[in-house]
A and B are shown apart, each in its own frame.
Chain A
């Protein structure tokens, strides 16, 4: 059969497998394992969306936490019931009409994503002329400004207290579903003429422009789509941990995403997916190192800060010795697999 149809069938099979996996997981797995699976999926969404901006388009943005915060707040403020809102906003009441609105989770997600995308676009505009370090600083600045604003707008975000007791809408269907969507959208974008244009900007902006690539449009595109999925990720995270407050979306979070993207390879979706899973699991394992343990009756005190120290060392190691990360710019693809095992097939 034609190659294209074969690949399509293979992709559908993978998705079917994932669906079956989720059904089994929901029935049989321990809630702790399910928690980790959800986190893996959320970090895949966040990592892949960051890689679109940083890795494929070469715009090293440190502002991802800001987009996540927007997504988290917008969605929460939309799906929370008026009663829950009244409970939370006990110092200053929430402004109208937010105080009375309540819409289903799915719509709140879509709106959250769109608002984040809008902000992503706005952040991208001034960054058009900036490169390297300066771009990083400005995007970081935006992220911090967003955090400070959310920390202060008592009547909209409830200030530093944040929103608590959020209903848990995030489950394996949502997290894996959106993760698959993110990977598909970014993959389809990257493996297209627009994707080549984005990569050309990363490689050599001057030449890209000379070849007719509109820098404004394409950089904005990367920021908007990256921010859209970051917003979804933030919304999912909020409903998952039942809390949305300004301190969750700090530079620490962006740093973790940067580590995921660098370790996986700045130009590889496959790398980011694998890396997100590995690092999420690693984070959980290290969490136990930070808490005190009982080993054979000996009380071993926890070592706080160990988790992030290991992360920092991991990042330094990769940056210094494994510059291309796990996959570099390579992708795992049906095509590549085919070539490996059936090398006589040629396009």
Chain B
């Protein structure tokens, strides 16, 4: 294991970590505000890639525009999922919401199979995203550089929204105390929709970055990153954005490192993720880093 190889893997892990963080934030925010695990989040991530794909291939949009359209459509999708599958069940027992989320997840996956077809499609990769850069002997993919940049930008914007706008204040209030926030005149439904919008938007950004790095898209592609990101959200402390980010890193770097350093256990990768989640849920339910 040379230093170069190690650094290469590390940079992979970090950039992967950012991707997981972008997706994990969506899980965390929705859970923080609704106490609901949005099982369909990973599938919304998947839909984003298909939106971009068809925008480019079917509607012949230039890729920059296509990406923005995809993000916009994904936000619409995320908000609609809440509007039609979760909002009617606000006052129902928790199990109903859980079933609705699981059902929504399967619905999106199989809708994609029926409409888009189950075979993987090749995602369009613009030139600039395919270059390899060599920085002091370490080969780094351009996507690995762009991902952290865009992710950090997105996180900064998010932090600004959360802490310096009225909507952000509303979101924080609802997370703290749903009933009081309601009584204080905060428009719950609008705020929740906004939360889904942000979560879906970040997932869409993550999805496009993901597809640029792994250009095979298919209906079940959201499952793997979805569960990883979900594990990240749990381990970082669900409900906390900072936790989701840190968790994302943890999971991203660990995913790569386990394969590199313990190749014999690579087959058990998925199991480790779940063992991690179970351990955290049982012993430190507020996450490894505590609650925000």
Q: List A residues at the B interface (Cβ < 8 Å).
A: 54, 60, 126, 129-130, 132-134, 136-138, 140-142, 144-145, 148-149, 151-152, 255, 258, 262, 266, 303-306, 308-309, 311-313, 315-316, 319-320, 323
Contacts and interface: CB of A to CB of B under 8 A. Distances in A.
Contact of A309 (B31, B98, B111, B282): B111
Given A151-B267, A258-B102, A306-B114, A316 B107 contact: yes
B100 A309 contact: no
A320 B88 contact: yes
Contacts of B118: 304-305
Interface size class of chain B, counting residues whose CB lies under 8 Å from the partner chain:
35 or more
Contacts of B154: none
B209 interface: no
Chain A binding surface, main DSSP class: helix
B171 interface: no
B37 A144 contact: no
A323 B95 CA distance: 10
**Main DSSP-derived SS at the B contact region:** helix
A99 B219 CA distance: 40
A69 B94 CA distance: 28
Interface centre among A144, A309, A319, by most B CB within 10 Å?
A319
Contacts of B291: none
Contacts of B98: 60, 132-133, 136
A321 B37 CA distance: 21
Interface of B: 31, 35-37, 85, 88-89, 92, 94-96, 98-100, 102-104, 106-107, 109-114, 118, 219, 234, 267-268, 270-271, 274-275, 277-278, 281-282, 285
A308 B109 CA distance: 9
B247 to A, nearest CB: 14
A319 B99 contact: yes
Contacts of A141: 274-275, 277-278
Nearest to B35: A133
A9 B282 CA distance: 49
A73 to B, nearest CB: 16
B99 A258 contact: yes
